[in-house]
Amino acid sequence: MTTYRHLFSPLRLRTVELPNRVVVPPMVQCRPILSAEGLAWYRRLARGGAGMIIVEATGVPLFGKELTPRTLKPLVDILHSHGGAAAIQLFPIPFGQTADLNALGTADVQVMVERFGLAARICLEAGFDAVEPHGAHGYLLNQFFMPDKNRRTDRYGSSAEGRQQFALEIVRRIREAAEDRLLVLYRHTPVGEAYGIDDSLPFAERLVEAGVDVLDISPARHLVPADRAEPFARALTVPVIAVGGMDDPVAAEEALAAGRCALVAVGRQMIADAQWPAKVRDGREGEIRRCVKCNAKCYGHIRERKPVSCAVWKTDEVLAAVEDGRP
Give start and end residues of each alpha helix (H) in the chain.
Answer: 36-46, 69-80, 106-126, 140-144, 160-178, 197-210, 230-235, 249-257, 268-272, 276-281, 299-303, 317-323
Q: Which residues of 71-110 are buried (b: 16+ CB within 10 A; e: fewer)?
A: ebeebbbbbbebebbbbbbbbbbebeeeeebeebeeeebb
Using the rule CB under 6 A, is 268 a contact of ligand FMN? yes
In 3-state terms, what secondary structure has residue 165? Answer: helix
Stretch that binds ligand FMN, among 32-40, 118-126, 193-201, 265-273 (CB under 6 A): 265-273
Considering the rule CB under 6 A, would residue 133 count as an interface residue with ligand FMN? no
**Of 42, 56, 174, 241, which one interacts with ligand FMN (CB under 6 A)?**
56
Using an 8 Å Cβ cutoff, are 112 and 159 in contact? no
Can residue 130 be called a binding residue for ligand FMN (CB under 6 A)? no
Under the criterion CB under 6 A, does residue 313 sit at the interface with ligand FMN? no
* C-beta of 202 vs 225, nearer to ligand FMN: 225
**CB-wise, 152 or 170, nearer to ligand FMN?**
170
Among 19, 26, 51, 239, binds ligand FMN (CB under 6 A): 26
Q: Output 152 or 218, the one with its CB closest to ligand FMN.
A: 218
3-state secondary structure of 291: coil
Member of 299, 311, 317, 327 binding ligand FMN (CB under 6 A): 299
Q: State whether residue 53 is helix, strand or coil.
A: strand
Question: Coil, helix or strand for 187?
Answer: strand
* Residue 232, CA atoms < 13 Å, CB-side half-sphere: 35
Nearer Cβ to ligand FMN (157/166)? 166
CB 163 within 8 A of CB 150: yes
Find the shortest distance in angstroms from Cβ 219 to ligand FMN: 8
Binding flag, residue 298, ligand FMN (CB under 6 A) = yes
Tell me the C-alpha distance between 257 and 7, whole Å: 9
CB 138 within 8 A of CB 189: yes
Contact range with ligand FMN by CB under 6 A, out of 25-33, 45-53, 234-242, 280-288: 25-33
User: Closest CB to ligand FMN among 251 and 302?
Assistant: 302
Contact region with ligand FMN (CB under 6 A), list: 22-30, 97-105, 159-167, 206-214? 22-30
Q: Min. distance of Cβ 33 from ligand FMN in angstroms? A: 11
Q: Which helix H or strand E contains 202, and what residues bound it?
A: helix 197-210
The stretch among 101-109, 111-119, 242-250, 254-262 that binds ligand FMN (CB under 6 A) is 242-250
Query: What DSSP letter does each residue of 218-246 carry, written as one string?
Result: ---GGG-S----HHHHHH-SS-EEEESS-
Contact by Cβ (8 Å): 76, 111:
no
For the bound state, the minimum distance from the C-beta of residue 115 to ligand FMN, rounded and expressed in Å, comes to 18
Work out how close the CB of 280 gets to ligand FMN at its nearest, in angstroms, rounded to a whole number.
Answer: 14
Strand partners, 85: 52
Question: Which of residues 210 and 229 has its CB atom nearest to ligand FMN in the complex?
Answer: 229
**Binding residues for ligand FMN, per CB under 6 A?**
25-28, 56-57, 89, 134, 136-137, 187, 218, 224, 243-247, 266-269, 298-299, 302, 308
